[in-house]
Amino acid sequence: MARVLSEPQRETFARDGFLTIEGFADPAACRALIDRARGIVDDFDPAAVRSVFSTRRQQHTTDDYFLSSGGEIRCFFEEEAFDDTGSLRQDKHLSINKIGHALHDRDPVFDRFSRDPRLAGICADVGMADPRLIQSMYIFKQPRIGGEVVCHQDSTFLYTEPKSCVGLWFALEDATVENGCMWGLPGRHREGLRKRMVRDGRGGVRMETFDPAPFPTEGEVPLEAPAGTLILLHGEAPHRSGANRSDRSRHAYAVHVIDGACDYPADNWLRRPADLPVRGF
């Protein structure tokens, strides 16, 4: 497999736990994903899911909607999308938090983008023997109501033994401090995994905590990213993103890859249907 990352890039990734590559995706490729996501939301009926926000019993349905999304294309609302009466505050296109979690397998446009041979090369460059695309998300970070994502490690949600998760995060629009770009903690990926989200055996999930200490904020750096930027993220690299209170959206697409040579425990939250096994590039 041809090398994609330079030696200095590989060193930066190993040192910091993340690597920013500007200009990875051209404007037309970014546009194609933005347009396709818009089409998916066009076809999405909010009434079908909106009702699930009103009662506890229906909340459980929401959990099912999330927990069974590993092999599907599903839309999830922003927390602040609804007013007190349960009505959308703004148009549905401005109310969706994300689409997940199998865009890369269920949609041809996302499939093509996600299986770019350069990405296979990058996964090989960072030491993956058998990279497999386990999850994809389209993240809107909507203007004004785009919620913050608290500091976390992606291996918390995509755990393998040994740990192997790598995130491929693409800015489809400019991501800045104002519209909620990611923030990283250089070098902290070497401090171990703090939590793991597991199925609780009763239809829900729970967190297993290995280290209850909060993530530090000291040394945090903003990962501002012009449209087309790829940010490569180590699975144990702590990162977060701020709320978007600006009037500009911050669309991004993320694919997570795990090594097929590692064990994927059966109690991981994300499950794939039997007819859609996890595939590589």
List of residues contacting Fe ion (CB under 5 A): 154
Whole-number Å distance between alpha carbons of 36 and 62 = 24
Residue nearest to Fe ion (CB): 154
Provide the minimum distance between the beta carbon of 148 and Fe ion in the complex, in angstroms, as a whole number.
12
Left (φ > 0), alpha (ψ -120 to 50) or beta: where does 201 sit?
A: left
- The residue written with tokens 């729970």 in the block is 206
Provide the minimum distance between the beta carbon of 61 and Fe ion in the complex, in angstroms, as a whole number.
25
Question: Is 266 in contact with 132 (CB distance < 8 Å)?
Answer: no
Residues sharing a CB contact under 8 Å with residue 11, sequence separation 6 or more, in sequence order: none
Cβ nearer to Fe ion, comparing 168 with 278: 168
∠81-85-88 over CA atoms, to 5°?
Answer: 30
Provide the minimum distance between the beta carbon of 139 and Fe ion in the complex, in angstroms, as a whole number.
10
Cβ nearer to Fe ion, comparing 50 with 97: 97
Residues in the chain: 281
Provide the minimum distance between the beta carbon of 76 and Fe ion in the complex, in angstroms, as a whole number.
15
Provide the minimum distance between the beta carbon of 50 and Fe ion in the complex, in angstroms, as a whole number.
26
Cβ nearer to Fe ion, comparing 21 with 151: 151
Whole-number Å distance between alpha carbons of 136 and 72 = 10
Cβ nearer to Fe ion, comparing 107 with 154: 154
Cβ nearer to Fe ion, comparing 125 with 154: 154
Q: H or E element: which one contains 48?
A: helix 46-50
Structure tokens at 67: 């927990």
